[in-house]
Chain A
Amino acid sequence: MNAPILSLITFAPFVGALVVLALPKEADRAIKWVALVSSLISSVLAVIALAQFDPAGGLQFVERVRWIPALNVDYHLGVDGLSMGMVLLTALITPLALLAHWKLIEGVKLFFVLFLFLQVGMFGVFTALNFFHWFIFWEIGLIPMFFLIRIWGAEERHYASLKFFLYTLAGSLGMLLAFAFIYLATENFDFVALQQQAASGELRRALGVLVTDIERVTGSEWDVGTLLNVMFWATFLGFAIKVPIWPFHTWLPDAHTQAPTGGSMVLAAILLKMGVYGFLRIVLPIFPDQVVANLTPLLLLAVASVVLGAFAALAQNDFKRLVAYSSVNHMGYAMLGIFAAVAFAPDVKDVVNEKAAALNGAILQMFNHGISSAALFFLVGVVYERTHTRQLDEYGGLRKVLPIYAGVLGISMFSSLGLPGLNGFVGEFLVFKGAFPVVPWAAMLSLIGLVVTAVFLLQMMQKVCFGPLNPRWAELPDMTGRELFIGAVLMLFMFGIGIYPQPMLALSNDAALWLIGMFEQRPDAVLTMVP
């Protein structure tokens, strides 16, 4: 029997957290090392999994154990091309985020325990294939982050943490109810089974039976189509808040700005991806008809995220808020790619490959944004530790005293901007390559975002690093070896993916084609035309 590698990946940090809990409060060094090592064990295991991963093999490393027979719930894990990259991203960013707080003095034990729990939640979300424990992991991600912001956050942390918590929670409630309906109809929580039932029309039929029952009991009239639509939008809302898609994004700048550095890194790099991943794993496979039917508003929201997110970033004077808004903008590109991949466009030549470009681009964009946003938030933290301000106006000319920092910031900024040769470009190019033929209007509108993104990022760079040096910062020390190491690891990925993206694309391509094929083969797609 094979080792349950996904469970090991997921729960290694949990074991680490238990060990940390057993350690005395004062043993700072030991706590940090235990946390880092347990997090790294997951990383090593993730790399081992990657080595054995077959992109064409569908769901792999599957673990399936009967868990709650009364509810027909299995403990069901597995990864495919949609989730493998996210598992790797989690395995990469979390240890770096821990390392970013290596000098933490206050509340070390609690901080690292919470962080490890957070990692368990993130791994859990990307590996779970059953809604029951998937939802538990999804919510587990919330609680440590809430405390991380609330205890180690900046001046407005109470408002920000509560907003983050309630907003995300409120969002997932609708999803919970939608799945309650699904469960009542199908007695199934399993993503794979539900996807098959949705594809075969079984899900709709089962809901129809449920609706007749409800009608019989309540005497009111229900419509299955409406019910499915409501369920779709409820689920959408849960993920849209997490992504975040405009206009459900306002928790994000607050949460990011107030969170401690490592919290922001993980929040931007991984927690947001949980939302996008939700679209890939849940919304698209289980509500395909509703996605297609509502494609125009969905695309509009994606475009709004790209354009309005970029414009809002332009007007920020808080370094961290600006980077946070850039996440709204960048996730917009990913959503554009995803929605383009399911659009109905029979007139387009070689449409499957166009869609494959869009979807692979979106998945790559998720990974890329994880790298570049983690780097940017980390770098905000580096300079904040030294200056204790986040106001862009108060920096100026830092390149003079922090040349290495300026170099790392410049490269990360250009990665985020989508400069060729760095990772961001490949993802954005593929998204546009696919979206342009399939949904031209949405792609054209989003192009505005490309300019505005450049404007706000270069403006940021100018305010932080260029111009005359603010004399207050004349004595600042440059990046330490530890800080440079974190930056260097992330830059390695920026250059690596930018120059040779093939391995990343090979990881996702088959899964992307599978997902696209699901939509291409729908006979009823003809009925729901998209402009």
Chain B
Amino acid sequence: MSDHAQHLQQLAAQQWLIPFFPLVAAAIQSLLPRSARRLSATLTILAMGMSCLLAARAFWATLPVGEQHDEVARAFFNFTWFRFGTTALEFGFILDPLTAGMALMVAFVGFWIFVNATGYMAEDENFTRFFCFLSLFAASMLGLVVANNLLLLFMCWELVGLCSYLLIGFWYFKPSAAAAMKKAFITTRVGDIGFFIGILMLYQHTGTLTLYNAEGTGALQQAGSLGQLAGWWGLSLAGTIALMLFIGAMGKSAQFPLHVWLPDAMEGPTPVSALIHAATMVAAGVFMVGRMFALFTANAGDWVMDFVMWIGCITALFSATIAVAQFDIKRVLAYSTCSQLGFMMMALGAGGLVAGQFHLLTHAFFKALLFLGSGCVIIGTHHEQDMRRMGGLRKYMPITFWCYLVGMLALAGVPPFAGFFSKDEILVATYHHNKLAWVLATAAAFLTAFYMTRQMFMVFGGTWRGGQHDAHGNETTGHDEHHGHAHHEPHEVSWNMWLPLVVLSVFAVFMGWLGTPWLAGNLFHHYLAPEMPAPEHANIVVVLSVVVGAAGILLGWLIYGRRPMQHAAEPDPLAGTLGGLFTVLNRKWYVDELYEATIVRATQALGTLFRAVDKLVVDGILHAIAWIWWGVSQLFRWIGDELIINGGFDAGCESVRGGGRLLARLQNGRVQTYLRVMALGAVVLVAIYFFR
């Protein structure tokens, strides 16, 4: 074993430290009183800083060394969690480029989001609790990333879901937040059932859930042989398991048709949206598919990869159309996130592991930037989220504006910003795989540029339209104490809020160069998957993606920029052009209504049905038995008392009579029945004994 391999081994055994610090912070914070605000925030940020340093050290170690580099640097550390039967369930941690890159991104982006949150949540009375939840989230998310075991990954997966639930509902007193938190948890849990089945199947057929082990018998190391066995629906066993896991990823990464929870999740405080619902947790599905990629590709004949690609493609386009017609600044970004996650999934489905993971990383930076920027806007405008009541913020919030612009350009795919390169890689991968998907994805890219331009002009262009409608403003705020400020003009936010924007902007500008074929033949590709061939470049794809990006921006400028909105009550110019379609888009294709009318209604109906079955059928039968028993005992009383037995026995039967009656009325409990029945049993026993 070389020195480098040994070093990796040592680091892998220390991977648990990365989630450990935030976990300890969360544990301490859970016991802190409400007043310990400063301490709580400090703990969270310090712990995340530690994680970030550790992640950076691990990342450094996975970087290619020397000239020869055609193998992935991978080390792992496994240990026993518990034993059952004659076997044991192992847990483990892994260090490889996929994990190291993701962990560094999570810790780094998370760190800056936490800094921003100290400003965003400054006036919240549950500030301490908020940072406790953030720490717990960070620990779970980092645990998910460093897990070398699918069960451990799944456990962390559920825990990030828990934190998402807690943080979406952080302003639990709002009925909308209380509903959104539940919806998020349940929708993702539906997907998790698929994930769970995948885990059970994988465990059954490989005998382990450890992904890699030194003996080469890890679950992923057996993927090839699973690809040779038959599974369900014409898939190989590996493909079936992959499909099941992907259903889990669809829930977590808000893929159509399980996307409905993500927009509602915007009920949470904006740093939460940036961290959980843009940069990290929602990308966990993409990460997991990347982690389990060997199963997806185990059998080339499986349709599971096409399924992944088409779900991604549909999600990318579908969500982009909805984003065009939203007015809530965060909802636009939420649908954009859905759409971008769709891009990533599509890339994976087209075989572009590197492209998908690269877009995951770049997207995390610029989408976190955009969300934090929207948070700054919300604070700067005194808790306004409706873009119609914004406008002209460029003047009031210059730093936020410039950073937001960088994020917008990155998302819109304008060269040379980060999103351009990563999205381009995706389009290239798709182009080689399926032309129709590529066309649809290009259309989605066009819409992306369009709706981001629309947002830029509505928020930052024109003149300030706020304060015009303060009578019904502030519906969306969680801070009642802010109502008084509604008349004030917008203002720039404090340094702790804008500094993270600046830092993230730097990455949104330059990060894309890591994954471009024009620089050292795609550095990121060589880092993540040196064993895979880099996709051939296609000039038409590049040209077209630049063209549609420019066209989208141009169209946005034509509609929203040339003549800015003057008044908050003005209808959207697009509403006139698109007519009814705009309403359909604004109402999100009525998917929520459809689910409400079908699945939700059916579930409730089943509940009512089975409650009624218990009350009417089961209890009905019971009561009928009781009545019959009463009738029979009356009969026996009559026969026994009146016809056969003389008066001397009557006194004894008084209680029997009482017993019969009480059974029927079920109101009057006496232990006599019990004794009577016991006596009956004894008589039967004695009878049997004598007859023997």
Contact = CB atoms under 8 A, between A and B. Distances in A.
Interface of A: 143, 146, 150, 158-159, 161-163, 165-167, 169-170, 173, 176-177, 180, 184, 210, 213-214, 217-218, 247, 249-250, 253, 308, 311-316, 348-350, 352-357, 360, 397, 399-400, 414, 419-421, 425-426, 429-430, 432-433, 436-437, 443-444, 447, 450-452, 454-456, 458-459, 461-462, 465-469, 500-502, 505-506, 509, 512-513
A220 B531 CA distance: 80
A451 B81 CA distance: 26
B688 to A, nearest CB: 6
A425 to B, nearest CB: 7
A336 B606 CA distance: 22
A137 B177 CA distance: 50
Contacts of B179: 462
Contact of A357 (B84, B162, B175, B673): B84
Interface string B71-90: 00000000001111111000
Contacts of B689: 184
Contacts of A158: 667-669
A360 B84 CA distance: 7
A323 to B, nearest CB: 15
Interface stretch (B195-203, B270-278, B491-499, B539-547): B195-203
B86 A177 contact: no
Given A218-B691, A315-B608, A467 B172 contact: yes
Interface in B188-223: 189-190, 193, 196-197, 200-201, 203-205, 207
B607 A315 contact: yes
Interface centre among B667, B669, B692 (most CB of A within 10 A): B669
A166 B156 CA distance: 47
B159 A430 contact: no
Contacts of B197: 436, 444, 447
A306 to B, nearest CB: 12
Given A163-B666, A173-B681, A314-B604, A354 B193 contact: no
B155 A420 contact: yes
A353 B87 CA distance: 7
B85 A466 contact: no
Contacts of B86: 352-353, 356, 513
B158 interface: yes
Contacts of A426: 82
Contacts of B604: 314-315
B200 A436 contact: yes
B610 A159 contact: no
Contacts of B666: 159, 162-163, 166
B39 interface: no
A420 B159 contact: yes
A462 B196 CA distance: 26
A355 to B, nearest CB: 8
Nearest to B179: A462
A505 B681 contact: no
Given A218-B691, A420-B159, A162 B607 contact: no
Interface string B35-74: 0000000000000000000000000000000000000000
Contact of A349 (B204, B608, B618): B204
10 contacts: A158-B667, A162-B666, A165-B669, A167-B622, A311-B603, A311-B609, A315-B610, A451-B186, A458-B185, A502-B83
A250 B173 contact: no
Contacts of B681: 173, 176-177, 180
A509 B83 contact: yes
Interface centre among A316, A502, A513 (most CB of B within 10 A): A502
Contact of B85 (A150, A163, A177, A509): A509
Contacts of B606: 311, 314
A509 B84 contact: yes
Given A250-B622, A447-B196, A314 B667 contact: no
A150 B671 CA distance: 12
Nearest to B684: A177
Contacts of B479: none
A426 B622 CA distance: 36
9 nearest A-B residue pairs (beta carbon): A356-B85, A420-B155, A314-B607, A315-B607, A466-B178, A353-B85, A162-B669, A315-B611, A466-B172
A352 B691 contact: no
A421 B196 contact: no
B196 A414 contact: no
B97 interface: no
Sort chain B's interface into a size bin: 35 or more
Contacts of A357: 84-85
Given A167-B622, A447-B193, A450-B193, A433 B203 contact: yes
A419 B186 contact: no
B84 A316 contact: no
Interface string B158-178: 110010000001001111011
Nearest to A165: B669
A450 to B, nearest CB: 6
Nearest to B151: A429
Contacts of A146: 669, 671
Given A165-B674, A400-B173, A505 B182 contact: no
Nearest to A459: B182
Given A315-B610, A501-B82, A350 B207 contact: yes
A311 B677 contact: no
Given A311-B609, A355-B85, A462-B181, 10 more contacts: A162-B662, A162-B666, A163-B622, A177-B681, A180-B684, A214-B688, A352-B85, A421-B159, A458-B182, A458-B186
Nearest to B621: A247
A294 to B, nearest CB: 21
A170 B204 CA distance: 42
Contacts of A512: 84-85
Interface string B596-626: 0000000110111111011000110010001
Contacts of A513: 85-86
Contacts of A456: 607
Given A450-B193, A467-B175, A312 B84 contact: no
A468 B173 contact: yes
Contacts of A355: 85
B671 to A, nearest CB: 7
A173 B203 CA distance: 44
A506 B681 CA distance: 42
Interface string B611-644: 1011000110010001000000000000000000
B83 A505 contact: yes
B685 interface: yes
B663 interface: yes
Contacts of B607: 311-315, 456
B589 interface: no
B402 interface: no
B154 interface: yes
Contacts of A173: 677, 681
A425 B154 CA distance: 11
Contacts of A313: 607
Contacts of A502: 81-83
Contacts of A430: 84
B158 A419 contact: yes
B154 A420 contact: yes
Contacts of A250: 614, 618-619, 622
Contacts of B691: 214, 217-218
A451 B185 CA distance: 10
A443 B175 CA distance: 36
Given A158-B669, A311-B609, A513-B85, A180 B688 contact: yes
Nearest to A429: B151
A143 B674 CA distance: 10
B190 A451 contact: yes
B361 to A, nearest CB: 26
Contacts of B84: 353, 356-357, 360, 430, 505, 509, 512
Nearest to B663: A166
B381 to A, nearest CB: 25
Contacts of A352: 85-86
